[in-house]
Structure 1
Amino acid sequence: MGFFLRWMFAFVLLAATFNPTEYNYIRWATTNYVEELPMTVFLGLLLTIGYLVYLRATLRSIGGGGMFLILTVVCALIWVLYDWGLLSLTNTNVNTWLGIFALSCVLGIGLSWSLVRRRLSGQVDVDDVEE
């Protein structure tokens, strides 16, 4: 359940920033920044904090190579689904959601990787504190 929540929060973070609907930060901020500048800055800072937490943890746990590897695995899965005819890539909205899904998988796995590695190997990271 812990991994699912970490992945879901990453998905919500990415989707709140940008998605193909009209309900996202980028679209809202570009149309309302003049009238709502303090709120635009505040929400932008909250999103930035969320990204910093996820990116720092992901880079520390799996690094850039691991991020690339996870992204390629997710893209290969999308390719398999397309090849089997289960997925059509002609709709740009679906493609955007697939991109958000792929990036959220990278961030969710990156944030959870230290916990998974500790359970599988029994090894504790140097920066882990006893719970």
Structure 2
Amino acid sequence: MGFVIRWVFAFVLLAATYNPTEWNFVRWSAANAETNLSMTVLFGLVLLVGYIIYLRATLRSIGIFGMVLILAVVGTVLWVLYDQGIVNLDDPTLNTWIALAALSVVLAIGLSWSIVRRKLTGQTDVDDIDE
């Protein structure tokens, strides 16, 4: 259940930033930056904090290579689904949602990897204390 919660939060973070609907930060800030600059900056900083948390944890646990590997696996699953006729990639809106789901899976795995590794191997990841 913990992984699902991390995935949902990653998906919400990405979808809140941009999605094909009109309900996202990019479109809202473009329309309201002049009249609500303080709110735009506040929401942008809140999103930035979320990205820093997810990206830092992901980079520390699986690194760039792990992120690319997970994206490759997700992309290959999509390729198989497309080849089997299960998914049609002609719709740009669907493609955007698929990209959001794929990126959120990468972030969720990155945030969860230390927990999975500890359960599988019994080894604990310890951060440097000098930071």
TM-score range, shorter chain: over 0.9
Which residue pairs with 1:27 in the alignment?
27
Matches within 5 A, 1:62-81: 62-81=62-81
1:47 and 2:47 aligned:
yes
Structure 2: segments with no counterpart, 5+ residues: none
- TM-aligned CA deviation for residue 127 of structure 1: 2.5
Which residue pairs with 2:122 in the alignment?
122
- TM-aligned CA deviation for residue 67 of structure 1: 0.2
Which residue pairs with 1:58 in the alignment?
58
- Structure 1: which 4+ aligned runs deviate by more than 6 Å? none
Percent identical pairs in the alignment equals: 62
Structure 2 letter corresponding to 1:60: R
Question: Aligned with 2:64: secondary structure?
Answer: helix
Question: Aligned with 1:102: secondary structure?
Answer: helix
Question: Aligned with 1:111: secondary structure?
Answer: helix
| CA displacement, residues 22-63 of structure 1 (integer Å, 9 cap, x when unaligned) | 000000000110001000000000000000000000000000
Structure 1: segments with no counterpart, 5+ residues: none
Structure 1 letter corresponding to 2:103: L
CA distance in 2, matches of 1:19, 1:114: 29
CA distance in 1, matches of 2:70, 2:7: 13
1:87 and 2:84 aligned:
no
Which residue pairs with 1:38 in the alignment?
38
Question: Aligned with 1:109: secondary structure?
Answer: helix
Question: Aligned with 1:118: secondary structure?
Answer: helix
Question: Aligned with 1:58: secondary structure?
Answer: helix
Total equivalences in the alignment: 128
TM-score normalised by length of structure 2: 0.96
Structure 2 letter corresponding to 1:79: W
Structural RMSD (CA): 0.9
CA distance in 2, matches of 1:6, 1:121: 21
1:99 and 2:96 aligned:
no
